[in-house]
Amino acid sequence: MAKQRIVIKLSGSLFSFDTQVKALRDYTQLIKKIANEYQPIIVTGGGRIARFYIDLSREMGLDESGLDLTGIMVSHLNAKLLMSGLGDLCHPTTPKNLDEISTAVNSEKIIITGGLYPGQSTNATSALIAERTGAIKFFNATDVDGIYDSDPRTNKNAVLFDSIKVTDCIDMLRKENSIAGTYDLMDLISLKVIQRSRLPCVVFKSSVENIEKIVLRGIRLGTEITISS
């Protein structure tokens, strides 16, 4: 019987001009381990190299949608880099749209891809992928510890939510223009996708240890986004 699918969004911060092979290898070892239990679909962000190309292109006069496409291209380059350590365990190309995702998961291999559509964060894209592939959970491995009640960078007493209802999360995002300390984490499209599909989601700080704990050992970390019944 086919394994259950999970989607893991990997923060683009893993990919930078000073990325070391050691860090990448730790991630691919972990992904192999995960693949013993689930069919993982990994979505990589663009990170600093994307920002480098985007900043230069914007200065050169490229329109914002064009910049989105550039960011997507770099995220696929990052995806290919991660695939380098997985050989035949991994689907050999990075899917470019939801139809290619649907066909790729047929192979029952590990899927690694980047952003798919302009005008959409890789978070939102990850949520769509989870929805389309019937994934049982969306693990959002980010640069912060989870969702706070206020911005932890400016408010020492900010409290990390253990869990938050998706409707409350949407309200926070609407009112504050961004969820405290989590701008970029969970944008409105991601949340609406989570809501419409009742997709379990957890937001937590990305590290090999944390992903292993939360995905493979069932240890609670970060913030669960819950669906009100």
d(CA 94, CA 184): 23
Residues 6-25, mask of contacts with its own copies (x by CB under 8 A): -----------x-x-x--xx
Tell whether residue 119 is a contact of its own copies (CB under 8 A): yes
- Residue 169 is encoded by which pair of tokens? 């999360």
- Other Cβ atoms less than 10 A from the Cβ of 24: the count is 17
d(CA 7, CA 10): 10
Quick one: which H or E segment has residue 223? strand 223-226
d(CA 89, CA 136): 21
Rg (CA), the chain: 17
The least CB distance from residue 228 to its own copies, in Å, is: 15
Give the range of 29-37, 56-64, 209-217, 221-229 binding its own copies by CB under 8 A.
56-64
The least CB distance from residue 95 to its own copies, in Å, is: 11
105 Cβ neighbours under 8 A, 6+ residues apart:
5, 39, 41, 111, 133
How many residues sit in the footprint of its own copies (CB under 8 A)?
A: 67
> In degrees, to the nearest 5, what angle opens at C-alpha 131 toward C-alphas 82 and 3?
65
d(CA 111, CA 83): 9
Tell whether residue 4 is a contact of its own copies (CB under 8 A): no
Tell whether residue 2 is a contact of its own copies (CB under 8 A): yes
Residues 60-99, mask of contacts with its own copies (x by CB under 8 A): xxxxxxx-xxx--xx-xx--xx-xxx-xx--xxx---xxx
* Residue 7, beta-bridge partner list: 41, 138
d(CA 217, CA 229): 27
For its own copies, the closer CB: 37 or 64: 64
Tell whether residue 228 is a contact of its own copies (CB under 8 A): no
Give the range of 53-61, 152-160, 202-210, 214-222 binding its own copies by CB under 8 A.
53-61
Q: Enumerate binding residues for its own copies (CB under 8 A).
A: 2, 17, 19, 21, 24-25, 28, 49, 52-53, 56-66, 68-70, 73-74, 76-77, 80-81, 83-85, 87-88, 91-93, 97-99, 102-103, 105-107, 109, 116-120, 124-125, 128-129, 131-132, 134, 174-175, 177, 188-189, 193, 196-197
